[in-house]
Structure 1
């Protein structure tokens, strides 16, 4: 019985580990998605701003406005590059969390296999015990009938 309780404890702890690893993986995946969305927003904004500037520049523009535009585009490009680095880091966190999640799932699966084997062994042992008891009962009944017939 102690072995059964120990295995149940291990399964419970392994389930907690799987839950924690699942939550962590989900969190880093959500974070990565948010970072990617922010990157796409920056890229879209840069493209729209560049298109508006190009359209306005066709009809003529002061040199100061061109310098301001270029400075702003440079700032946007720097932000986009920084966001790309953040995205790479977020992707690395996701890739690092996946093996941990898989390891915890595998560990839980191993414990569950052990539990199933333990239950099957206990059921087989009980079936043998039941068969032995049944055989003994039948043998006793036969002996009693036999002794009653000889009396």
Structure 2
């Protein structure tokens, strides 16, 4: 028996909200992965430049070139700090989005449990009705059946 009542509407809305929160969480995770990738790229680039600087210093390097290396590595350090900050912010957004999704999932689970209980109660009620009807039919059949005592005149 399919019914569309207030609880069914709540379940539908809750499911849509949960799905929307799931999509938002997926986007936040993707952004987090991108931010982590950018940070890793900057760190790798910095390490490569430090290695180049070490090699150049081992072979002998002009003061101006050494200064350029140091300035560039300093700018990479600032970019790495900014990338770390962005990654931390993205982690917070992702955590918040994850909690929002969990709340929507709990809400949907609660509504679904209420719907299951309602359906179970309806099923029990229907079974009672069927038993009552079967009992009434049996009583009617027994009431119509002639008694053996009535058929045997003494």
Shorter-chain TM band: over 0.9
Q: CA deviation at 1:52?
A: 1.2
Which residue does the alignment assign to 2:63? 63
Which residue does the alignment assign to 2:48? 48
Which residue does the alignment assign to 1:35? 35
The equivalences for 1:2-151 within 5 A come to 5-146=5-146, 150=150
User: CA-to-partner distance for each residue in 1:46-82, whole Å, 9 max, x for gaps?
Assistant: 0011101111111101100001000000000000000
Q: Aligned to 1:143, what secondary structure does the other structure show?
A: helix
User: Comparing both structures, which one devotes a greater share of its residues to helix?
Assistant: 1
Query: How far apart, in 2, do the equivalents of 1:56 and 1:99 lie?
Result: 50
User: How many residue pairs were aligned?
Assistant: 150
Q: CA deviation at 1:150?
A: 3.3
Q: TM-score, with normalisation over the residues of structure 2?
A: 0.92
Question: Aligned Cα RMSD in Å?
Answer: 1.7
Query: How far apart, in 2, do the equivalents of 1:61 and 1:99 lie?
Result: 54
Query: How far apart, in 1, do the equivalents of 2:4 and 2:134 lie?
Result: 27
C-alpha spacing 1:27/1:13, structure 2 compared with 1 (3 Å):
same
C-alpha spacing 1:35/1:69, structure 2 compared with 1 (3 Å):
same
Give structure 2 stretches of 5+ with no counterpart. Answer: none
Q: TM-score, with normalisation over the residues of structure 1?
A: 0.94
